[in-house]
Amino acid sequence: MIDRRSLLARGALLTGTLFAPRLAFAAAPTDRRLVFLIQRGAADGLATLAPTGDPAYAGLRGQLAEEAGGAKLDGLFTLHRSLGQLAGRYQAGEALFVHATASPYRDRSHFDGQNVLETGGRLPYDRDDGWMNRLISLLPDRDAKALALSPAIPTALRGAATVSSYAPTNLPDASPEFLQRITRLYADDAQLHALWSEAVQTRAMASELASDGGRGAAAAGKLAASLMAGPDGARLMLMESGGWDTHAGQRGRLANQLTGLDAMLAALRDGLGSAWADTLVIVATEFGRTAAVNGTGGTDHGTGGLAMLLGGRVKGGRILADWPGLNQAALYEGRDLKPTTPLDMVLAGAIAGHFGLEPVLTARTLFPGGAGKALEGLIRG
Amino acid sequence: MRESSVALNRFGLGGRKGEAVPGEPRRWLLDQFGKFDPRPAAVTSLPASPALIVQFREARAAQRGMRDERREAKAMPPETPARPDMAPELRPYRALRDVYAEAAAVRTNLALTTPAPFIERMVHFWANHFAVSIDKIVTVGIAGAFEFEAIRPNVLGKFADLLLAVERHPAMLLYLDQAQSVGPDSVLGKIAARRGNQRGLNENLAREILELHTLGVRSGYDQGDVTELARALTGWTVGGLADQPMLRGPGPGYWFAGIIHQPGDRKVLGKRYDQDGERQGEAILRDLAVHPATARHIATKLARHFAADDPPPSLVARLEAAFLKSGGDLPTVYRALIEAPEPWAASPAKFRTPWEWTLATLRGVGAPSLPALMNANALNQLGQPVWRPGSPAGWDDTAPSWAGPDALYRRVEVAERIARRTAPLDARKLAEDLFPGALSEPTRKALAGAESSAQALALLLASPEMMRR
């Protein structure tokens, strides 16, 4: 069930065996679908899939260590208690977690990190187009429809190929997380602070995507599924979620966020119905968060984090992690989970496997200049 | 604020994404005098006031026809229930609402892309000084044409010419009831009196000219001056609208109707006016336009707009002097404003109105035109629908009218919506360009700590810097 240090060796073994069917498949228009869900704000992988078996974990996390408490997936990892449905997918062999992973980006700016995650470049802003747009040029069906569930087209989907975006007109109102930032922004401004405090007090707070028991998130998942349904539906779908930047009060906030994510993924699967068998969902974030809890019950910008692969053809029920450990000497720059698996090579491998593409070409096109080889064996043949 | 930020934000309409920061702020402002286009293609392609008068007349006729039909049908119950979407008597005016929406969009788009944002600001300033409001149905279609035909072409001219263009425009004559004011001793006035019809003076426009447009309230004129000005202005009307054939005039548009002009000399502010007909009112307006009280009134409003809600007396005096010395030459007054020290004070002087904030945010993200989400309705929600101040006094120009809790909350929500619909950009860099040398540390920190580029942009659009100018 569990691949950790054995991962790279096993991946290499699979390289040759899948080559022939891949070519055969390339001629036909694809029914395969890809959903890329970006967690903007650096989601805490160490809380989402907690290494409860690591001896250093409880000490580092303090009060946050109690966050886990969900499904124990193996001797090392416990899934967050808010991810009940996702745990079910894992048990069904349809969910694969990749831990201690990161893009090539090593600093800790959200913008720069998201830019690298989306462009597939080595450095922030060294490319204008996104890897998802370049993927279209590799697909057997070059007219495959690509859609962002968003009012504007995010970087990951921008580029030469025609793409579109869709957003329901009744988008959720400003998120509480954003409103908190506004509160901080106005803190030193006497006039705006007074006006804002009054406005917030007198207004019923709009419900956040993740804080209304997941109803908003489930609706988004259902909407995405409906836009991907049928022969004319989107083949590539980009989704975004915010609110992951949990510097303070992480316990409740992250639980709400993950409740929303769990509902969104479940609604997506339910909505896709039989097409779920041909769908790959990738969930990723720009980087992880600090190994230790900070002074405000939260975590700060880190490095290594978690990515998830889900879908009917994902070789799931596994956790891929070349686990570096959490003892002080093992931490990246003495504070972060050390990234041991290149995220871009996970994405390249999963996508190549899913669409039946040549892995080297896929890696080179989506993540040019990338170090290493696309991981194989992530998708069932 | 550094001076380039003052020029962009306080004098201009806010920095525009992709445009260079002005290196010499005063020169940048002065150069705009030559760059302003009074009649851009977007404006000349809109229907002009004669066509709009005809359209209004037809809508009114249709409305009356419906009313008559209903009266005839009253005996019988209606066969189909009335449609609930719009009051039936207003349906004929729907096309004029569309004209309004299109003109309001043109106004906004010009402000977003203009090479002369300071002069566009002056257009908005004067349109508000000489306000017409679309809550009067006759004004709905023609409010845009009023600004485009009376204000824009005169914004860099003499105040007297601006004043005359405004007071002769059909929109103003209709909005403030001058079009139907009849001299009691005029030809038509006498006929009406013999027939027992009450047709007479309407003082509305005359009073607002003295109180709002020129001298200013409590500046020394009295009721006698109002009445005399009202008498002098009789005959200034709008052709193409009246039912009586005698008052239809040569065609739709401004028309001096001698048959309703009150004959005789007039005395306003102690001065006798013995001109005939139209030239009488014009002579009075030309004197009012250069009157010291007018100079003080205009100087005070300009100082309030550019320096502080409570205008500094030193700046008022300076602008007043420039106005009087130049005989109300507006570019001279603008130059005095630009050269004065008071408008260049470093700390933000003014809380942006919803209109100003909307323009600044859309310019900031480089929007080329009014996005669908920011239609007139969005400005309604922010509290300042275009050409609808609700009174001839125009919108108030001080912070208490705009800096309210709910108003601020709505701006924050709109900021997030605009940011979500904008292609990803680096808000940190944009912030330095929009507020060169004037970005506060808390804002800079908030942008750097945002969790996504869209969130950083939303924070920038809602930042204290963006709320003020």
B372 has a pLDDT exceeding 70: no
Measured CA to CA, the distance from residue B443 to residue B434 in angstroms comes to 13
A281 beta partners: A35, A310
**A248 falls in which pLDDT band (50, 70, 90)?**
confident
Measured CA to CA, the distance from residue A126 to residue A106 in angstroms comes to 15
Measured CA to CA, the distance from residue A286 to residue A288 in angstroms comes to 7
Instruction: Average the pLDDT over each of A143-152, B97-106, B170-179 and give the range with the smallest value.
Output: A143-152
pLDDT higher at B371 or A252: A252
Q: A166 and chain B: CB distance < 8 Å anywhere?
A: no
Maximum mean pLDDT: which of A12-26, A30-44, A244-258, B33-47: B33-47
pLDDT given at position B256: 97
B282-292 pLDDT tens trace: 999 999 999 99
Q: A179 and chain B: CB distance < 8 Å anywhere?
A: yes
pLDDT given at position A352: 97
From chain B, which residues contact A within 8 Å (Cβ)? 351, 403-406, 408-409, 412-413, 416-417, 420-424, 426, 428, 440, 442-443, 446, 448-456, 458-459, 462-464, 467
Euclidean distance between the first and the last CA atom of chain A, given in angstroms as a whole number: 18
**Between β-strands A318-320 and A305-311, what pairing exists: parallel, antiparallel or unpaired?**
unpaired
Looking at CATH, the fold of the domain delimited by A7-170+211-366 is given as Alkaline Phosphatase, subunit A (3.40.720)
pLDDT higher at A199 or B268: B268
Mean pLDDT over the full length of chain A: 85
Q: Do residues A327 and A56 touch, judged by C-beta distance below 8 A?
A: yes
B107-163 pLDDT tens trace: 999 999 999 999 999 999 999 999 999 988 999 999 999 999 999 999 999 999 999
A6 has a pLDDT exceeding 80: no
Q: Residue B116: CB partners within 8 Å, gap ≥ 6?
A: B32, B33, B35, B36, B37
- The DSSP result for B266-306, as a single string, is EEETTEEE---HHHHHHHHHHHHHT-HHHHHHHHHHHHHHH
pLDDT given at position B74: 60
Stretch A78-83: mean pLDDT: 96
B440-467 pLDDT tens trace: 999 999 999 999 999 999 999 999 999 9
pLDDT given at position A23: 33
Question: What interface predicted TM-score (ipTM) does this complex get?
Answer: 0.87
Stretch A262-270: mean pLDDT: 95
Closest to A35 in 3D by CA, of A204, A298, A295, A228: A228
Q: Residue A310: CB partners within 8 Å, gap ≥ 6?
A: A86, A89, A94, A95, A96, A265, A269, A280, A281, A283, A316
A2 has a pLDDT exceeding 50: no
Stretch B3-8: mean pLDDT: 96
Say which amino acid occupies A73: L
Query: How large is the angle between the packed helices B94-113 and B354-364, nearest 10 degrees?
Result: 60
Stretch A229-249: mean pLDDT: 86
Measured CA to CA, the distance from residue A49 to residue A126 in angstroms comes to 32
Q: Residue A166: CB partners within 8 Å, gap ≥ 6?
A: A147, A148, A149, A150, A227
What residue has token string 């001896």?
A55
Measured CA to CA, the distance from residue A375 to residue B447 in angstroms comes to 36
Q: Across the beta sheet with A78-80, what order do the strands follow?
A: A49-50, A78-80, A69-72
Q: Do residues B436 and B2 touch, judged by C-beta distance below 8 A?
A: yes
Q: How many CB atoms lie within 10 A of CB A42?
A: 27
Kindly report the backbone phi and psi dihedral angles of residue A62, in degrees, each rounded to the nearest multiple of 5, phi listed first.
55, -125
A340-379 pLDDT tens trace: 999 999 999 999 999 999 999 999 999 998 778 999 999 9
| Residue A263, token pair as written in the block | 């509902």
Say which amino acid occupies B305: H
Q: Does A151 contact B420 at a Cβ distance shorter than 8 Å?
A: yes
Measured CA to CA, the distance from residue A122 to residue A370 in angstroms comes to 7
pLDDT given at position A173: 59
pLDDT given at position A201: 66
Stretch B370-396: mean pLDDT: 79
Q: How far is CA B274 from CA A168, B189, B224, B283, in A?
A: 67, 20, 17, 10
- The DSSP result for A232-288, as a single string, is TS-SEEEEEE-----SS-HHHHHHHHHHHHHHHHHHHHHHHGGGGGGEEEEEEES--
Euclidean distance between the first and the last CA atom of chain B, given in angstroms as a whole number: 9
Instruction: Average the pLDDT over each of A71-85, A257-271, B195-209 and give the range with the smallest value.
Output: B195-209
B411-429 pLDDT tens trace: 998 899 889 888 899 999 9
Q: Does B446 contact A184 at a Cβ distance shorter than 8 Å?
A: yes
Measured CA to CA, the distance from residue A93 to residue A70 in angstroms comes to 18
pLDDT given at position A197: 82
What residue has token string 């190929």?
A161
Instruction: Average the pLDDT over each of A75-79, A363-367, B70-74, B465-469 and give the range with the smallest value.
Output: B70-74
Mean pLDDT over the full length of chain B: 91
Task: List chain A domain ranges.
Answer: 7-170+211-366, 173-206
Compute the nearest-CA separation of A192 from chain B (Å): 7
Measured CA to CA, the distance from residue A132 to residue A237 in angstroms comes to 9
A67 has a pLDDT exceeding 80: no
DSSP state letter for A208: P
**A169 falls in which pLDDT band (50, 70, 90)?**
very low
Pick from B443, B455, B461, B467 the residue to mutate for testing the A interface (most A CBs within 10 Å). B455
Contacts with B, A 97-126, CB within 8 Å: 109-111, 114-115
Q: What is the dihedral of CA A307, A273, A144, A242, to 10 degrees?
A: -40
